[in-house]
Amino acid sequence: MTIETKKTDLGLCKSFGDQDYSRYVRHQMSEQDVCNFEIHAQNCSCCLHGIRQATVAYNHQKVQAENELLHSNALSIMDRLDRSVFSIVIRAVQGMVELIKSTGEQLAMTPALTGVRSSSDNSVSDTVQPLRLVKEFEESRLSVEVTISPIEPEMLDVVVSLLDRLHEEFIPGVSVTCCGKSEMFDKLTDVNGQVIFRVPTAGFYELVMKKNDHLLGTMTLTGL
């Protein structure tokens, strides 16, 4: 049975409404209802517009739900980790990195020597505010400092510096492996004890630091 298109003076469809559009994009309609609705929508501009709006709203809600789940999981993991892991949860917003939670200590922020290109124009700001944190591993003499800077929309530069607290020297030649959802990097610290990784702002990353196959420490970074 074909449902005829009817409109009020306000341009709204009398046959279907917002609840129907939401059920359709969420795949909550029966097969027969889907068939009837799609036949109707082919000739109803109001319903086509309603479907588009419902789709945008649904996708926005999905992204929010995924971010909330990632946030919840990250905090839950941190609550269970022992003191040998340096964990950081951050959120990057408008050229700033906001610290949500960390097992390390936050250091005073200073402007980074890099610009951030705006997504709305071609201008580049002169400075950005990086996030700097430090962790001293209790079971070893390793001190880890990490600087996180937004370098372009949805991307971060992560600088990891390793220091031998006993000798007060940087530690070169340390293998630092960064594992993410779909990517993996493996680098050696330079003469200044540093490695730099570039990663998306959202995601979970684990950094494992080894020297001559000996585990020095582990760091996790969660971007919301």
* Span 53-81, pLDDT tens digits: 888 777 777 776 666 666 666 555 555 55
1-15, 92-106, 184-198: least confidently modelled range: 1-15
Q: Are strands 105-106 and 214-223 parallel, antiparallel or unpaired?
A: unpaired
Residue 33 φ then ψ, to 5°: -65, -40
Q: What is the pTM of this model?
A: 0.58
Q: Are strands 142-152 and 194-200 parallel, antiparallel or unpaired?
A: unpaired
Angle between helices 45-80 and 18-25 (to 10 degrees): 60
Model confidence pLDDT, tens digit, residues 102-122:
888 888 754 433 333 333 343
Query: What is d(CA 40, CA 48) in angstroms, rounded to the nearest whole number?
Result: 10
